[in-house]
């Protein structure tokens, strides 16, 4: 019961909004060290440290109405050998990523702004990343 009361007080205090909770002993009244809970931030992939020697961009409409069809395809220039693809970030609900072709396709079902990073790696191990902002209205 005391834990519920402390949690309720923490939620209602200004310190809780800042992410800091101060706990006191019920017997001694001593203040324990504050616990700071930091919000998680999304990780952004870093560009390769060395030049890959080739370029990558994504062709296609990056802005669609909710329920509209997405069809984004990689445009690669100067790569050697075969390519493999990966992505990070959040795709719109209804969209898919094809790792074999690098294609983002499907129906974007929910309005919002979605940021993704598509990476291409050639057979020599060189990699490049393209940042894509998909806007669903």
Q: Give the pLDDT mean for 28-56.
A: 60
d(CA 72, CA 85): 13
Three-point CA angle 127, 128, 129, nearest 5°? 130
Q: Which whole-number Å values give the CA distances from 95 to 45, 67, 68, 108, 113, in the listed order?
A: 21, 10, 10, 6, 13
- Whether the pLDDT of residue 80 is over 90: the answer is no
Is residue 86 over pLDDT 90? yes
> Encoding tokens for residue 21?
């909770």
> Using 50, 70 and 90 to split pLDDT, how confident is the model at 32?
low
Best CA proximity match to 1, nearest among 26, 19, 33: 26
Domains in the chain, start-ordered, CATH in brackets? 2-36 (no CATH), 55-136 (2.60.40.10)
Mean pLDDT, rounded, of the chain: 76
Q: Quick check: 50 pLDDT over 90?
A: no
Mapped onto helix, strand or coil, the DSSP state of residue 65 is: coil
Q: What is the pLDDT of residue 87?
A: 92
pLDDT at 30 over 70: no
pLDDT at 136 over 90: yes
Averaged pLDDT, 89-95:
92
Residue 31 makes CB contacts below 8 A (sequence gap 6+) with: 22, 23, 24
Residue 44: which pLDDT band, with cuts at 50, 70 and 90? low
- Which pLDDT belongs to residue 36? 55
CB 70 within 8 A of CB 97: no
């Amino acid at each position: 019961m005391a834990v519920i009361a402390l949690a309720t007080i923490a939620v209602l205090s200004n310190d809780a909004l800042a992410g800091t909770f101060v706990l006191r002993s019920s017997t001694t009244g001593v203040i324990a060290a504050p616990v700071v809970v930091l919000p998680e931030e999304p990780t952004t992939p870093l560009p390769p440290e060395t030049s890959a020697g080739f370029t990558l961009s994504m062709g296609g409409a990056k802005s669609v109405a909710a329920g509209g069809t997405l069809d984004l395809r990689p445009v690669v220039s100067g790569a050697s050998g075969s390519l493999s693809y990966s992505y990070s970030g959040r795709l719109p609900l209804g969209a898919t990523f094809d790792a074999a072709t690098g294609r983002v396709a499907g129906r974007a079902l929910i309005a919002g702004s979605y940021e993704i990073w598509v990476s291409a790696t050639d057979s020599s191990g060189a990699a490049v990343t393209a940042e894509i902002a998909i806007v669903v209205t």
